[in-house]
Structures are given as structure tokens and as C-alpha cells.
Amino acid sequence: MAETYDAPLAHQLRDAAWIKSSYSNGQGNCAEFARLPGGEIAMRNSRFPDGPQIVYTRAEVEAMLLGAKDGEFDHLLV
């Protein structure tokens, strides 16, 4: 079983350079991502920037992006 740990809070990732999609609307309804020094990728809700973040491995994010590009998640928006 994979080891679990508490998600970091925003103050623990102060130096992270957060980015979000250009498709995000002006109301802050978007996920933001930041590459961490160890190669992991953190994700947070742009509406709650001081809330928790989820940290993924590069392989996990790559699998999600490839699936999104192939349309595997399109049914979630219908």
C-alpha cells in the first residue's frame, strides 16, 4: 500500500510558482499547478489559495494529461 501523508498548506509552498490554464474564467474557478523542487507537481483550488494542496508525482500528472488529451474524462462535463 502506498504511504499517505498530510497535504501541505499554502504557507509551506510559498516559493512555488503557481500557474493556471488560460481557459480559466475571471471568477477564479480553476485548478492551479506548481512544479516543486523535487520534481513533484502540486495542485490547488484557485478559489482557496491558502487551503491544502495535493502533491502528485510527474508520472501521475503525465497519465492524467494524456488521458485528458485523449478525451477520457470528457464524460465528466456532460
| Amino acid 5: pLDDT | 61
**What is the C-alpha separation between 76 and 16, in angstroms, rounded?**
29
Q: What is the pLDDT of residue 71?
A: 96
Phi, psi for residue 13 in degrees, rounded to 5: -125, 40
Three-state secondary-structure class, residue 76: helix
**pLDDT of amino acid 50:** 83
Domain parsing of the chain, residue ranges: 11-77
Q: Identify the segments of the chain with pLDDT beneath 70.
A: 1-12
Cα–Cα distance measured from residue 53 to residue 73, given in angstroms and rounded to the nearest whole number: 22
Sequence-ordered strand ranges (E) for 12-75: 19-20, 31-35, 41-45, 54-56
Q: Would you state the cell numbers that stand for residue 16, as one nine-digit string?
A: 512555488
